[in-house]
């Protein structure tokens, strides 16, 4: 399966539309449907190509968090992962008022779980919780169920963030990581969060924002009476630190690339594309002269990315 130029255009123009508009006006009808279809196709493709255990977020680097994870999961880390993407997942639960110990026996839902590696990691951090992952990509969900599902402890369902297939008041913690910036109607998602959370339950929301998208989100969030926002941390510095570590010579990311049998030029092109996808522009990445020359003649797709301004962790409690 390949993402055709039409699909990429529907996705990127939809993204620009959503993220560069200061109004919180929802995108409805054909445009919203086209955007979701394009998103599902692109992540279906990613789910087919990804290695087992791959996560799809930019990650964060905080030495203290890395230590806390190693204390709970001895041996966690190199050589199979740099752990940066898992640190974001850890943050999503660690900073909740109930704390990690308070999550045993609770229902945790991740919306936008990809192929499930992040939720699988959380289920090892909090083994007593019941965890469900949901994603719009059918291929990602099929793969997660085939490789990671474990009865009631960890299951995966296909669905849409704007129309959650769950009962009212059935979830204690809803985690959402680097996913909501592609939803055509953020208000609809937040109203679904309000509906499925039990009173006293929490939303832990982590995402990257353009200036306009942040303003629109604050406006939308203020209109939803059932959610009280208690935390809004700018974690841009920690995210940039992770992206820069990934780009550095000798990094886990670079070593993984070395193991692929690519000629030096191809390796540069693959590294460039992956750096762009994993927050390179946000962390100040500038392509070298070879990549710049290739992009000028159209050999390397040039995606300058939207001007993302901040990466944030926000928590809301269901009133
Ligand atoms: C950048 S990936 C992040 C995946 C995962 N949270 C992680 O951090 O590795 C965004 C995910 O959101 C999912 N997604 C996008 N739109 C969605 C929607 N409307 N409903 C549910 N999932 C959606 C995509 O399929 C994709 O798996």
**What are the sequence ranges of the domains in the chain?**
63-234+308-318
Q: Does 113 have pLDDT greater than 50?
A: yes
Compute the C-alpha angle 241/315/217, nearest 5°: 85
Question: How far, in Å, is the centroid of ligand 1 from the Cα of 290?
Answer: 32
Indicate the top mutation candidate among 136, 207, 239, 306 to test ligand 1's pocket, ranked by most ligand atoms within 8 A of CB.
136
Average pLDDT, the chain: 93
Evaluate: CB of 56 within 6 angstroms of ligand 1.
yes
Q: Measured from the CB, is residue 178 less than 6 Å from ligand 1?
A: yes
Question: From CA 90, how far away is CA 104, in angstroms rounded?
Answer: 15
Task: Kindly report, residue by residue over 165-189, the tens digit of the pLDDT.
Answer: 999 999 999 999 999 999 999 999 9
Q: Is 315 in the pocket of ligand 1 (CB under 6 A)?
A: no
Domain 63-234+308-318: give its CATH architecture.
3-Layer(aba) Sandwich (3.40)
Mean pLDDT score, 275-297: 91
User: How large is the average pLDDT for residues 144-168?
Assistant: 97
Nearest atom, ligand 1, residue 189 CA:
19
Which residues in 86-114 are b (16+ Cβ under 10 Å) and which e?
A: bbbbbbbbeebeeebeebeebbbbbbbbb
Segment 110-127 mean pLDDT: 98
pLDDT band at 191 (very low <50, low <70, confident <90, very high): very high
Ligand 1 binding pocket includes 204 (Cβ within 6 Å): no
With a 6 A CB cut-off, is 232 part of the ligand 1 pocket?
no
pLDDT per residue as tens digits for the range 228-271: 999 999 999 999 999 999 999 999 999 988 888 899 999 999 99
Residue whose CA lies nearest to ligand 1 atom number 13: 112
Cβ(173)–Cβ(270) under 8 Å?
A: no
Give the separation between CA 51 and CA 252, rounded to whole angstroms: 14
Q: Are 227 and 193 in contact (CB under 8 A)?
A: yes
Q: 132: CA distance to ligand 1 center in Å?
A: 14
- Which atom of ligand 1 approaches the CA of 57 most closely? 8
- Residue of 135, 142, 205, 277 to test ligand 1 pocket, by largest number of atoms within 8 Å of CB: 135
Predicted local confidence at residue 109, as pLDDT: 98
Substitution candidate for ligand 1 out of 114, 186, 205 with most atoms within 8 A of CB: 114
Q: Check whether 1 has a pLDDT greater than 60.
A: no
On the question of pLDDT at 300 being above 90, the answer is no
Q: Is 118 in the pocket of ligand 1 (CB under 6 A)?
A: yes
Q: For residue 72, how far is its CA from the centre of ligand 1 (angstroms)?
A: 27
Give the Cα separation of 140 and 118 in Å (integer): 13
């Amino acid at each position: 399966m390949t993402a055709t130029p039409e699909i990429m255009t529907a996705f990127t123009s939809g993204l620009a539309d959503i993220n560069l508009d200061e109004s919180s006006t929802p995108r409805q009808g054909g445009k919203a449907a086209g955007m979701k279809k394009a998103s599902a196709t692109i992540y279906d493709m990613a789910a087919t190509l990804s290695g087992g255990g791959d996560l799809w977020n930019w990650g964060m680097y905080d030495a203290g968090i890395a230590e806390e994870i190693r204390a709970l999961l001895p041996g966690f880390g190199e050589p199979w992962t740099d752990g940066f993407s898992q640190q974001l997942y850890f943050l999503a639960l660690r900073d909740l008022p109930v704390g990690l110990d308070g999550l045993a026996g609770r229902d945790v839902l991740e919306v936008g779980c990809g192929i499930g590696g992040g939720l699988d990691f959380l289920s090892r951090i909090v083994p007593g919780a019941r965890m469900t992952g949901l994603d719009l990509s059918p291929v990602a969900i099929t793969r997660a169920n085939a490789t990671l599902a474990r009865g009631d402890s960890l299951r995966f369902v296909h669905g849409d963030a704007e129309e959650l297939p769950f009962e009212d008041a059935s979830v204690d913690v809803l985690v959402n990581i680097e996913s909501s910036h592609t939803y055509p109607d953020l208000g609809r998602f937040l109203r679904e969060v309000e509906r499925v959370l039990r009173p006293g339950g929490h939303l832990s929301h982590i995402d990257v924002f353009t200036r306009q998208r942040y303003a629109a989100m604050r406006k939308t969030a203020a209109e939803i009476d059932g959610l009280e926002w208690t935390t809004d941390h700018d974690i841009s510095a920690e995210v940039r630190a992770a992206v820069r570590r990934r780009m550095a010579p000798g990094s886990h990311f670079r070593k993984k690339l070395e193991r692929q049998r690519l000629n030096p030029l191809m390796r540069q092109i693959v590294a460039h594309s992956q750096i762009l996808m994993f927050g390179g522009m946000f962390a100040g990445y500038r392509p070298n002269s070879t990549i710049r020359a290739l992009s000028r003649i159209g050999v390397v797709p040039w995606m300058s990315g939207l001007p993302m301004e901040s990466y944030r962790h926000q928590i809301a409690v269901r009133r």
